[in-house]
Chains A and B, each alone.
Chain A
Amino acid sequence: MASKVQVPAKTQTTSQGFLYSALILGWLVPGAGHLLTGRWMRGLLLFVSIASMFWLGLAMQGKLYAPNTGDVLDMLGFAGDLGNGLFYALGRILDLGHGAVELATADYGTKFIVVAGLLNFISAVDAHNLRIGRKV
């Protein structure tokens, strides 16, 4: 019986060098993976969107999750935050993101930071697909 699942044709590697460079660079700096593949406008828009979301989240007194707190929800939050790459590291180095429980906007800020990280994961995977020729 024929399957209806459409499998893309064999992907073509569009560039030389380390295959995962766009993925890793895109994770570390939002939009940088797209810059690497020559899509500078896409890279710029992604950088502005994700960076704004992350830093506005911190400006709203949002919380940066830490590893090894023992709480499952905190671990999930940490996984999301980790998507921000170097921004997360910078936030921790500058000792930002302690969270202010008495402010409603602080809770919004925490969600902004987590979602910025998750969006950056999507962005980095998209850069990787562009890099290996799966997407044009």
Chain B
Amino acid sequence: MFAPSHFFAVLLFATFASVVFGITQRSTPKAMVRYGLYCWSMFVGVVIVASWVMWLIRR
């Protein structure tokens, strides 16, 4: 059984989804890499911000 932490699951999800988004939503290899990295940073960044917001709300 594979039991990752919540954050590691987020990293895996962001990585796989960003690869697919980059390849399918852009035409050139350079644009694919740039868009993939953008999606990845947005996925992970939004999760971190949302986590801090929830932490602040809980206090």
Residue positions of A touching B, CB distance < 8 A: 34, 42, 45-46, 48-50, 52-53, 56, 59-61, 103-105, 108, 111-112, 115-116, 119, 122-123, 125-126, 135-136
Docked CA distance A119–B17 (Å): 7
Q: Beyond the given A53-B13, A60-B1, A123-B24, could you list 19 further A-B residue pairs with CB under 8 A, ordered by the A residue number?
A: A45-B19, A46-B20, A46-B23, A49-B19, A49-B20, A50-B20, A53-B12, A56-B12, A105-B2, A105-B9, A108-B6, A111-B13, A115-B17, A119-B17, A125-B24, A126-B23, A126-B24, A135-B27, A136-B27
Query: B16 on the interface (CB 8 Å rule)?
Result: yes
Residue positions of B touching A, CB distance < 8 A: 1-4, 6, 9, 12-13, 15-17, 19-21, 23-24, 27
